[in-house]
Structure 1
């Protein structure tokens, strides 16, 4: 049973995280190449803005803010699941190669498969999911031994190896492509938030609307998996089936996010750690906090990055990596 004081603390942190997201979003709405006065935000949101204000807010800023939030939430939830099912605090979809697998699939699809522009947005997450599933399956296969089950350390090392190999494959693929298409793939690799229009929101939202409640429903089983295989088997949990279902959930979340934001790593590593340090390791408590933290981290990175350097700014993936790489090194030394 969870102590009531801890539940109250978690609710307070969730509320604080929501307020932090709202405050960052408001700041992000007003910053950019075309400035939007903060005292005009509410009138414009209520439909009382001129053409320029409406265009800047509803066609440029607001879709980007929502996409960034949703993608950060998806990456954070994916990292939370991976850390629980592998019992490895270093697990992250960007670090262990899942994002790279999705990226190779997107690159091949974008460069060589003709498709109608109208359906491109909605097909892209499915393509990324297929690439990520194949990669995750291979990583799982190389990390699993019948005698000892899944080796958490081996999974991370195998994932890093796959990530490097897939990066090499990506270079080979784009080396023979047209210059315009190479520019897009390069932006994707840097983690630039490129899907900044309303259709991308509708393409990403269903994945989160289904998989967030599903993961919370599975939170008790995630707790058991985090305790180790003997304990999980002892209480009657079908370990391999549950682990496979949850791995596919994590892959789907990561793939749907990177399909519209590019190759962003470390959000799925940092957000769960921050959440666990605040409310403890119980999945039903820290997952909601991690989801909100992931959204806020990516929104903050994108807001700072796009206003730091003119004219295009710094990609959100690079901004996150500037924080994430030292944090990853710290965890690696600690563990």
Structure 2
């Protein structure tokens, strides 16, 4: 509980710093006045219409991706599992790019429809990856899963390049930035499109923590303890895919949060999922809000896509884990 409290306080601290930071700076006093209705119209516009929605989305997307990765690592017993590395995020992204490529430009984008589209793509990619990773004698092979995910992600990336040929320059620029992991949803309707999915899925996943503990023991022992292994794995995998799809639809193609967040949480609270899942959510939210702050601050007035900052942190860590893995 102490660790989670500290993680929560760190999120609040970075949240406050992020509200003060940007090309147009607001002092802490100005932020405080604006939050309570005392700021100028310009300050209110900057804080409520641009910064706050993006900061909230960063925390929500980071939490969702980290919990998704934690579930994948648990049900596959593979420390390298991550929705980005395995190609699940790429499947979600392909559906979003298809939507952008074929949806009429003269109509408003139905933001609330995007998470469902992304979940469909993520679910299709996940099903294909798991089918290709099954070993007849050992069940799901962690090594085969990583290789299958990387191959499918590469194939999907190639399909996206082909699709971008038919895009007009404005759409192409948007897709390029989105694929790099930009927090592109910067108003409250994007928050409201993502929040219901997290509000439903996260409590259910936390409720399933004991089932996830049993699955990590291996199929034979889990069956002997009375667990319906196939059904539980399917339910948890579906939740993981839904979380990843919804977060990718709103936050862009961000990888490695689902890898680094759970590993950081595991070092802090241990491997019991009653504590690991909420700690992963907090660690993922903290990681992404810090990455988004750095992305906005490093090259002002320009900004770096948040996914690139996360990749700078996550890619070396992935290589370190890969070197340690005996899968």
2:219 maps to 1:232: no
2:299 maps to 1:309: yes
RMSD: 1.2
1:312 offset after TM fit, Å? Answer: 2.6
Q: Which runs of 5+ in 1 are unaligned?
A: 1-10
Q: Which runs of 5+ in 2 are unaligned?
A: none
Partner of 2:235: 245
1:118 offset after TM fit, Å? Answer: 5.1
The counterpart of 2:71, out of the listed 81, 86, 90, is 81
Equivalent residues of 2:97, 2:160 under 8 A apart: yes
* Change in CA separation of 1:313 and 1:119 when aligned onto 2, cut-off 3 Å: closer
Partner of 1:183: 173
The counterpart of 1:22, out of the listed 5, 12, 17, is 12
Q: What stretches of structure 1 move > 4 A for 4+ residues in a row?
A: 115-119
2:27 maps to 1:37: yes
Equivalent residue of 1:93, what SS? coil
The counterpart of 1:331, out of the listed 309, 312, 321, is 321
2:126 maps to 1:165: no
Equivalent residue of 1:227, what SS? coil
Q: What are the Cα deviations for residues 271-316 of structure 1, in whole angstroms up to 9, with x where unaligned?
A: 1001111111010111111100100100000001111113331111
2:80 maps to 1:90: yes
Q: What are the Cα deviations for residues 205-261 of structure 1, in whole angstroms up to 9, with x where unaligned?
A: 011101111111110110111111111111111111111111110010011111111
What's the TM-score, normalizing by structure 2? 0.97
Q: How many Å separate the matches in 2 of 1:61 and 1:31? A: 9
The counterpart of 1:136, out of the listed 122, 126, 134, is 126
2:275 maps to 1:285: yes
Q: How many Å separate the matches in 2 of 1:272 and 1:328? A: 13
Residues 119-128 or 73-82, more deviating:
119-128
Corresponding pairs, count: 325
Equivalent residues of 2:86, 2:150 under 8 A apart: yes
Q: How many Å separate the matches in 2 of 1:238 and 1:229? A: 10
Partner of 1:66: 56
